[in-house]
Structure 1
Amino acid sequence: MRKLKNEELNRPDLDQFKESEKTPIVLVLDNVRSMHNVGSAFRTADAFAIESIALCGITAQPPHREIHKTALGATESVEWKHYKNTMEACKSLRDEGYTLMAIEQVDDSISLESFKPSVDQKLAVIFGNEVFGVEEEVVAFADNSIEIPQFGTKHSLNISVSIGVVLWDLVSKMRFG
């Protein structure tokens, strides 16, 4: 066994990637304060070829050196838009036919492994602020909530970890059945 070189990975170049079919998921960042988390979100969005990212409220926007540190160029490959607040983004996405799913611990949440998106379903997955989570108003407006099962003593995961876990699960279900 040997590690593959980058040129052996057969990844698309920037133009090919931009023209490629994307998984119909929009990543909504609700007032995310860490620029490293924002950069990580871009990098993960690129890895899973999702449609776009909605940067809401205080969430930092590219170009920024701190975002670039973790995004490693993904701000160039992933489409994004900034919204004044998260409700504005959610209303717009609902009007475009997206199902709004807050990633949050709520009384009626669906456990991630139980959530079954349809192959052609358009999803907007909403990740909240590192301290306060998804805004109450946004949780109430969402179509439902997905919760990542956890078995330890801590009550949450870092947002960048949560994004990776949720996107991998959703993309694998939507692309591979």
Structure 2
Amino acid sequence: MNQQLEHHQVGHKPTKAKLTLVIPDLSSPANLGSIFRIADAFGVQSVFLTEDVQQLMQSNRFKRTSRSTEKYISTKLFNSIENLREQLQDDGNQLIALELTKKSENISTYHFKNQNIALIIGHEKMGLSEDLLKQIETHLHINMYGNNSSLNVAQSLGIALYEISKQSNV
């Protein structure tokens, strides 16, 4: 019989990847819930949020979409993206902005170093600020082949985490 299995039925053992996610700004509780589900699926160690983003976690929409995955990921607050950026770099993280810019590289051909990665994702409509992008050396984008020039932030994160985990064994 072909039945859908759960992870524990095939010997799945939860692991934590060398991945940290940074979310400086977001407006949709549903997107945040999806982000937590995707982050949990790829074993993200921790998610850094601003207080404004953390407030979205109180929403019923977040709770329905996240399916309680926020319980399995360390969630930390930050006030200053500059201070957090410095702290993450000092801790040996490779900072990566997921944003289409003039200097961004295709994520599917980028060579990830075997080190901790701090992936920074932007607001649904505005992306990452120009000021923040200037402070981050590595910008990666997802090639798209249709007419639309953007993806939903949670969908983009899923693609990015898949590419990172595929290459770097995180």
TM superposition score normalised by structure 1: 0.86
Letter in 2 for 1:154: N
Quote the residue 2:41 is aligned against.
47
Quote the residue 1:109 is aligned against.
104
Letter in 1 for 2:158: G
Residues in 2 aligned to 1:149 and 1:65: alpha-carbon distance in whole angstroms: 33
Letter in 2 for 1:5: L
Letter in 1 for 2:113: S
Relative distance call for 1:56 and 1:90 in structure 2 (3 A) is farther
Letter in 1 for 2:52: I
Relative distance call for 1:58 and 1:45 in structure 2 (3 A) is same
Indicate the SS of the match to 2:118: strand
Relative distance call for 1:154 and 1:144 in structure 2 (3 A) is same
Q: Deviations over 1:86-134 (max 9, x none)?
A: 3332222112111111111111111111111123x11111110011101
Deviates more, 1:140-149 or 1:2-11: 2-11
Residues in 2 aligned to 1:31 and 1:77: alpha-carbon distance in whole angstroms: 22
Indicate the SS of the match to 2:45: strand
Q: 2:128 aligns with which of 134, 137, 148?
A: 134
How far off its partner does 1:85 sit? Answer: 3.9
Relative distance call for 1:63 and 1:77 in structure 2 (3 A) is farther
TM superposition score normalised by structure 2: 0.89
Report the RMSD for the aligned CA atoms in angstroms: 1.9
Letter in 2 for 1:4: Q
Q: Contact 1:28/1:56 (CA < 8 Å) preserved in 2?
A: no
Relative distance call for 1:152 and 1:85 in structure 2 (3 A) is farther
Indicate the SS of the match to 2:169: helix
Stretches (4+) displaced over 6 A: none
Structure 1: gaps of 5 or more residues = none
- How many residues are paired up? 168
Relative distance call for 1:68 and 1:126 in structure 2 (3 A) is same
Residues in 2 aligned to 1:132 and 1:106: alpha-carbon distance in whole angstroms: 13
Quote the residue 1:165 is aligned against.
159
Residues in 1 aligned to 2:129 and 2:83: alpha-carbon distance in whole angstroms: 13
Q: Deviations over 1:40-59 (max 9, x none)?
A: 11111111112111113531
Structure 2 residue 149 is matched with structure 1 residue 149: no
Letter in 2 for 1:155: S
Quote the residue 1:79 is aligned against.
74
Quote the residue 2:5 is aligned against.
5
